[in-house]
Structure 1
Amino acid sequence: MSTIQTTFRMLLALMIGAVGSIVFIYLSLPLPWLLGAIFASSIAMRFENLPILSPKPFSAPARILIGLTIGSAFTPEILQFIDVYFYSLILVIPYTIITIIAGMYYYHKYQGFDKKTAYLSSMPGGVIEMVIIGEEIKANISKITLVQSSRLFFIVVSLPFVIQYIFKVDISGNKLITIPITQTNIPEFAALALLGIIGGVIAKKIRLSAAYLIGPMIVSIAVHSTGVITTSVPDEFLKFVQVVFGTIIGFTFRGVKLKTIVKTLVSTFGHFIILMIISAVFIAIAYYSFGFPIISTLLAFSPGGQAEINLIAILVVANVPYITLHHIVRLFIVMNLAPIFARKIKD
């Protein structure tokens, strides 16, 4: 298949995702650009004759844009409160360990996974990283991929509904997230984008986890916290990012039999319930102990993918630095614990 054909098929997939987004906007459903794309692409990829491909190559630019947007929230005013987050951040350590132990017990005891596969399936975050480690220790890669993708699917789909219908925060329709491109300082944004690309490339070279997200985020924090740059990523770009991630998530189960998908979703739903209970306990502890806004606390202790959770945080105008720091700590624990203990597990 030529490069032109491949590009066309990915663009067609994104167009289908965008159509789903427009339908969700019309229905006034939560997070329409993200969830609409997920549902439209989930349906489309079941039709094998459709000339569509997952737009994975768009993931790196999309992550760079999210990283830049996250960094733009670290203003000089926000940074004054970093020390206040410390005790809440400490809670991430027991939260992550309990989540892993409970998940591993569930998948090994009740779903019949071998210990290595159960261990990596229980990790709260890092789908690609868990698959790589799984290949090294000869775990069941297909199960890890399906389970981790299902967990991400449940979390990304359920959170917007919880936020909108339980906590009454309106995230429906086609609202502005940041300023539109017509009001953006284009030269300054171009400089920010270039710095973000450089940050991503350097982070990748030094093998930093989630390089295309963390690298640009560090660069953006540096320039925004010092006031060197004040421009953020335009609204239109963030809508495109949502369609990209929504479409990629929808493609997760392509090529997998419907029976296998249903079985995986059912088994993962049990783990999802366990995650909700554990998260609810730590959210309550953090909320009543430190008094941070409930939406920010909810997102800080949600075991979803860092890029996806941070994107939701941006869309609901939550305390992005607070949430980001919690997910960085969780990712650090996961990425350091996973390889060490995975190699020591014996079935």
Structure 2
Amino acid sequence: MQDRIASLRALVAAFAPARFPYLRFLVALGIGWCGGSVFAWLRLPLPWMLGPMSMLTIASLLRLPVAAPAVIRPPMTAVIGIMLGASFKPDMLDHIGTWFATMLGLALFVAVAALACIVYLHKVAGFDRETAYFSGMPGGLVEMIELGEQRGADHNTIALAHSARILMIVFTLPFLVQWLEGVSIGNRSQLGAGLAAAPWSGLELMILCGFAGAWAGRRLGLPGPYLLGPMLTSAAIHVAGITDFAPPREIVNTAQMVLGTVLGCRFAGTPPAAILRVLRIALGSTAILLAVTVAFAWGLGRLTGHGMVPIMLAYSPGGLAEMSLVALALHTDVAFVAAHHIVRIVLVMVSAGPILRLLDRIDPKPAPSAQAAAPKPLDQAAE
């Protein structure tokens, strides 16, 4: 009980005017809305996420007064989780047995992708070994920052590198998939009816799924509890046939807009030169990741019959919520995509520490004097 009270007090404190940048957040939302509107008018993929994300990245480069605190993300993520769960159907359970081969392939994919990115960041980008290692692991942003900081890596560089990876892949992959599929996915998301037509009973059930799922996700220690918890709760009632309700399009578009705004604002306050440098570096790592993803998707697609595009979405380390949204827009099996992303995140979280300890035994870390010539962290090098 005391833990709940403490959590509630912390949440209230996070929204106190002295701590929450309301004015900068409103400016960010305004810019995000403009970006979403332009992308929707141009019929680009995932307009209400990619539009705000793009515009807020530019705003961060221009040092405009924008901010989107992390406390905003969980409720929006829960809405996305409920929407993704609404796409689950009873017959999806019949296909789970066919995922074994792609799950095995996923472990090899993570190893190959991580090795390629780590070598690139260390040898080409000039990161020190620990920073390159934790920056190159394809997943687990928070965990990689924490583990890297414990090992003496530069946590600011790790945060920037992972943020840039997610930004680049989320922005690039929908266009790549759209090109491979030969279709427009600008407005194909399986959204519910408008808010005015949505029944109150469905809205109440959605709110219940959000709260119950988020609570269960945290209690069970799920990766991404505010997404996976509500998604699994929503999926359970949809698979059971209790309801076929989907969140109204206005709520879903707002949730996507806020998520895109949060992603774009991750660079707010960072020196523009540091942002440009990490984006240049991310171009190389994104090209590596997409090349490895396409190669695995092509090979496993031919071997398993799942198709190249579903495996690309399932393997691409661009974020569980974001890749699931692309899958939903393409009417691809969201459960297949989400399950592989969950396994990828868990694999990275579980294996990162032990693998680095093994590398330390094989190739001990250089003495501190040998690291004097290591490049400055991205945020310091730009100042």
Q: Identify if the C-alpha distance between structure 1 residues 40 and 293 changes in structure 2 by more than 3 Å, giving closer, same or farther.
A: same
Matched ranges for 1:11-160 at <5 A: 11-48=26-63, 50=65, 52-160=66-174
Which of 230, 235, 239 aligns to 1:225? It is: 239
Q: Deviation at 1:4?
A: 9.7
Correspondence 1:196 to 2:210: yes
Who is 2:252 aligned against? 238
Deviates more, 1:13-22 or 1:333-342: 333-342
Q: Identify if the C-alpha distance between structure 1 residues 105 and 175 changes in structure 2 by more than 3 Å, giving closer, same or farther.
A: closer
Which of 227, 237, 240 aligns to 1:213? It is: 227
Q: Deviation at 1:41?
A: 1.4
Q: Deviation at 1:5?
A: 6.8
Q: Distance in 1 between matches of 2:190 and 2:238?
A: 21
Q: Distance in 1 between matches of 2:41 and 2:339?
A: 35
Deviates more, 1:104-113 or 1:117-126: 104-113
Which of 305, 310, 332 aligns to 1:296? It is: 310
Partner-residue secondary structure (3-state), 1:262 = helix
For the Cα contact (< 8 Å) 1:131–1:145, is it kept in 2?
yes
Deviates more, 1:25-34 or 1:321-330: 25-34
Deviates more, 1:314-323 or 1:4-13: 4-13
Amino acid aligned to 1:290: T
Q: After superposition, what is the alpha-carbon deviation per residue over 1:287-330, rounded to whole angstroms, capped at 9, x for unaligned?
A: 11122243322211212111211122222322111111111111
Q: Deviation at 1:11?
A: 2.9
Which of 248, 251, 274 aligns to 1:260? It is: 274
For the Cα contact (< 8 Å) 1:55–1:247, is it kept in 2?
no
Q: Identify if the C-alpha distance between structure 1 residues 109 and 11 changes in structure 2 by more than 3 Å, giving closer, same or farther.
A: same
Q: Distance in 2 between matches of 1:44 and 1:260?
A: 14
For the Cα contact (< 8 Å) 1:13–1:54, is it kept in 2?
yes
Q: Identify if the C-alpha distance between structure 1 residues 47 and 336 changes in structure 2 by more than 3 Å, giving closer, same or farther.
A: same
Q: Identify if the C-alpha distance between structure 1 residues 168 and 174 changes in structure 2 by more than 3 Å, giving closer, same or farther.
A: closer
For the Cα contact (< 8 Å) 1:25–1:174, is it kept in 2?
no
For the Cα contact (< 8 Å) 2:67–2:268, is it kept in 1?
no
Q: Identify if the C-alpha distance between structure 1 residues 183 and 296 changes in structure 2 by more than 3 Å, giving closer, same or farther.
A: farther
Partner-residue secondary structure (3-state), 2:21 = helix
Q: After superposition, what is the alpha-carbon deviation per residue over 1:118-143, rounded to whole angstroms, capped at 9, x for unaligned?
A: 11111112222221222232211111
Who is 2:378 aligned against? none
Q: Deviation at 1:21?
A: 0.9
Q: Deviation at 1:200?
A: 1.1
Q: Distance in 2 between matches of 1:183 and 1:49?
A: 38
Q: Identify if the C-alpha distance between structure 1 residues 281 and 258 changes in structure 2 by more than 3 Å, giving closer, same or farther.
A: same
Q: Deviation at 1:196?
A: 2.3
Q: Percent identity?
A: 32
Aligned residues: 346
Who is 1:333 aligned against? 347
Q: Deviation at 1:114?
A: 2.1
Q: Distance in 2 between matches of 1:198 and 1:107?
A: 41
Q: Identify if the C-alpha distance between structure 1 residues 33 and 174 changes in structure 2 by more than 3 Å, giving closer, same or farther.
A: farther
Who is 1:181 aligned against? 195
Q: Distance in 2 between matches of 1:101 and 1:39?
A: 29
Q: Deviation at 1:332?
A: 1.5
With the length of structure 2 as denominator, give the TM-score of the two structures: 0.83
Who is 1:314 aligned against? 328
Q: Identify if the C-alpha distance between structure 1 residues 175 and 227 changes in structure 2 by more than 3 Å, giving closer, same or farther.
A: closer
Partner-residue secondary structure (3-state), 2:44 = coil
Gaps of 5+ in 1: none
Q: Distance in 2 between matches of 1:31 and 1:49?
A: 24
Q: Deviation at 1:43?
A: 2.4
Query: In angstroms, what is the RMSD of aligned CA positions?
Result: 2.2
For the Cα contact (< 8 Å) 1:153–1:249, is it kept in 2?
yes
For the Cα contact (< 8 Å) 2:297–2:311, is it kept in 1?
yes
Q: Distance in 2 between matches of 1:208 and 1:323?
A: 17
For the Cα contact (< 8 Å) 1:68–1:196, is it kept in 2?
yes
For the Cα contact (< 8 Å) 2:191–2:247, is it kept in 1?
no
Q: After superposition, what is the alpha-carbon deviation per residue over 1:188-210, rounded to whole angstroms, capped at 9, x for unaligned?
A: 33223223222212322443321
Q: After superposition, what is the alpha-carbon deviation per residue over 1:28-56, rounded to whole angstroms, capped at 9, x for unaligned?
A: 33322112111221222344463x32143
Amino acid aligned to 2:235: I
For the Cα contact (< 8 Å) 1:178–1:233, is it kept in 2?
yes
Gaps of 5+ in 2: 1-15, 366-383
Q: Distance in 2 between matches of 1:123 and 1:2?
A: 37
Who is 1:324 aligned against? 338
Q: Deviation at 1:89?
A: 1.8
With the length of structure 1 as denominator, give the TM-score of the two structures: 0.91
